[in-house]
């Protein structure tokens, strides 16, 4: 059972790092809970006397929740038994809302899942932080938090400096974890932008919201909601019936969304290492936008999903009097580099070579020699 194997590996990793007194970072992405599969499951009771209830989608989902809880508990117990609980920060979060064919109960009311929708039940997820001696047990932070906040928060936890060579979307909430009462951000952004834009089944949208209002943009459509009462009560506010305060909120959220888009576009024109290739182009090509030595770039792929006849074209500068070859390996560890394209003679101009791209993960490097 894959979730069990993941958990075994995670616990073993913690034990090995603790035994060697090595600091570590572990991202443990559970396969559960994702969706409720069809059909029944063979139930192995976690508690003596438990009875299998695998007759509905809700029962299957509930069973996965219970098993996930056991796996998280096992990892926490491993941290305790290794004697490192006091200096280990544990963060648990959901990645999205519940599958929309599952109905849960909240405060005695039925709640339909909102995964892949703009509803709060699709994006408002649990976030727990355990940090003995720093985060007060049982405390609650009522401010809004975004997943992008985790990156700068982890950096400041470790005493590292947040990079300033580009815009960092996240805002550290370390002060709030330590008890600061002021909220660290005013608005959050979320969206479902996966997949081809011409595929209606993808339900592409984006929204920006504060604690009272949410502005949802879906293609050419724009909708403002009052979300101040609860995540279960999103009240649509029409332009015709909005109050002056609601009009102000609409404008404020719309301006913030435009600012996010403008930042994204302006960053695509940045050239941090001044090598003539924009940061955006270098990230897409897989090169380092902060190092002018990153000159080997992937400029084309044969098929975008790496299926069928799979190739990629690499571009690089050349020097006259030298021969160039492209080598490839499946992993960066253990060698295994082989020639896959070339040789091509340099002439002082950029050259291109086409290489195979027959693996989901493949690394490339350029070698050169005198002619």
The CA–CA distances, whole Å, from 284 to 179, 281, 297, 334 equal 40, 5, 9, 26
Q: Is the domain of 126 the same as that of 199?
A: no
State residue 14 phi and psi, 5-degree precision: -60, -45
Q: Which residue has the tokens 């044969």?
A: 302
Q: Which of 114, 85, 83 is nearest to 97 (CA)?
A: 114
CATH of the domain at 322: 2.60.40
Residues 6+ apart with CB under 8 A from 132: 85, 86
* CA-CA-CA-CA torsion sign (267, 272, 278, 280): negative
**How many domains are contained in the chain?**
3
Same domain, 193 and 315: no
Tracing tokens 């959220």 back to the chain, one arrives at 253
Q: Output the CA angle 138-143-144, nearest 5 degrees.
A: 120
Confidence (pLDDT) at 133: 93
Please calculate the CA angle 278-281-285 and round it to the nearest 5 degrees: 135
Residue 274 lies in a domain: no
Instruction: Identify whether residues 212 and 240 lie together within a single domain.
Output: yes
Res 307: pLDDT: 45
Q: Residue 264 domain-assigned?
A: yes
The parent domain of residue 293 ranges over 279-370
Task: Give me the pLDDT at residue 348, please.
Answer: 83
| Single residue among 231, 247, 268 that ends a domain in this structure | 268
Q: Lowest-confidence range among 84-88, 100-104, 176-180? A: 100-104
* Angstrom distance (rounded) from CA 146 to CA 142: 13
- Residues 6+ away with beta carbon under 8 Å from 64: 32, 33, 34, 36
Question: Is residue 193 assigned to a domain?
Answer: yes
- Going by C-alpha positions, the residue among 231, 361, 357 that lies closest to residue 304 is 357
Among 185, 204, 222, identify where a domain stops: 185
At 22 the pLDDT is 94
Averaged pLDDT of the chain: 81
Residues 191 and 176 in one domain: no
Residues constituting the chain: 371
Q: pLDDT (tens digit, 9 = 90+) per residue, 64-96?
A: 888 899 999 999 999 999 999 999 999 999 988
In a domain, 302, yes or no: yes
Q: pLDDT band for 231, please (50, 70, 90 cuts).
A: low
Rounded Cα–Cα distance for residues 275 and 295 (Å): 9
Identify whether residues 155 and 294 lie together within a single domain. Answer: no
The answer to the question of residue 273 being in a domain is no
Q: Let me know: does 312 contact 355? Beta carbons within 8 Å.
A: yes
Residue 136 belongs to domain with CATH number? 3.40.720.10
Both 138 and 198 in one domain: the answer is no
Q: Do both 232 and 331 map to the same domain?
A: no
Do 166 and 203 fall into the same domain?
no
Q: What is the pLDDT of residues 23-42, one digit of tens each?
A: 999 999 988 887 665 555 55
Instruction: Tell me the pLDDT band of 305, cut-offs 50, 70 and 90.
Output: very low
Q: Are both 324 and 344 inside the same structural domain?
A: yes
Q: How far apart (Å, rounded) are the C-alpha atoms in residues 312 and 173?
A: 42
Do residues 306 and 327 share a domain? yes
Preceding amide of 169 cis, omega within 30: no
Which range has the worst mean pLDDT, 166-170, 288-292, 326-330?
Answer: 288-292
Q: What is the pTM of this model?
A: 0.66
363-370, strands of its sheet edge to edge? 338-345, 322-329, 363-370
Q: Based on the domain organization, do 42 and 154 belong to the same domain?
A: yes
Last residue of a domain, one of 153, 185, 217: 185
Query: Within this chain, do residues 32 and 151 fall inside the same structural domain, yes or no?
Result: yes
Over residues 316-344, the pLDDT tens digits come to: 888 888 888 888 887 766 667 888 888 88
What distance in Å separates the CA atoms of residue 283 and residue 41, rounded to the nearest whole number? Answer: 44
């Amino acid at each position: 059972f894959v979730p069990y194997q993941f958990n075994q590996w995670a616990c073993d990793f913690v034990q090995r790092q603790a035994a060697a007194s090595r600091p570590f970072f572990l991202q443990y992405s559970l396969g559960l809970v994702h969706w409720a599969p069809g059909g029944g499951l063979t139930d192995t009771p976690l508690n003596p006397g438990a009875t299998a209830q695998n007759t509905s989608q809700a029962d299957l989902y509930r069973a996965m929740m219970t098993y996930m809880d056991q796996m998280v508990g096992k990892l926490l117990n491993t941290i305790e038994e290794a004697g490192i609980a006091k200096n280990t920060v544990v963060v648990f979060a959901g990645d999205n809302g519940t599958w929309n064919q599952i109905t849960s109960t909240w405060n005695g009311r039925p709640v339909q899942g909102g995964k892949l929708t703009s509803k709060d039940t699709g994006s408002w997820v649990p976030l727990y932080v355990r940090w003995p001696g720093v985060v007060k047990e049982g405390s609650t932070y009522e401010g809004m938090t975004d997943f992008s906040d985790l990156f700068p928060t982890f950096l400041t936890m470790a005493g590292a400096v947040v990079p300033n060579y580009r815009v960092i979307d996240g805002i550290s909430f370390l002060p709030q974890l330590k008890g600061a009462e002021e909220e660290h951000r005013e608005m959050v952004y979320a969206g479902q932008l996966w997949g081809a834009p011409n595929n209606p089944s993808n339900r592409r949208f984006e929204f920006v919201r504060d604690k009272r209002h949410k502005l949802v943009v879906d293609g050419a459509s724009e909708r403002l909601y009052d979300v101040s009462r609860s995540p279960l009560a999103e009240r649509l506010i029409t332009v015709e019936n909005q109050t002056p305060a609601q009009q102000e909120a609409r404008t404020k959220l719309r301006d913030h969304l435009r600012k996010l888009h403008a930042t994204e576009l302006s960053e695509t024109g940045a050239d941090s290492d001044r090598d003539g290739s924009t940061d955006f182009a270098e990230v897409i090509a897989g090169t380092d936008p902060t190092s002018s030595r990153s000159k080997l770039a992937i400029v084309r792929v044969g098929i975008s999903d790496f299926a069928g006849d799979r190739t990629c074209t690499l571009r690089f500068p050349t020097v006259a009097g030298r021969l160039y070859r492209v080598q490839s390996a499946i992993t960066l560890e253990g060698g295994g580099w082989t020639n896959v394209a070339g040789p091509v003679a340099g002439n002082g101009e950029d050259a291109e070579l086409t290489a195979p791209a027959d693996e989901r993960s493949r690394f490339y490097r350029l070698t050169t020699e005198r002619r």
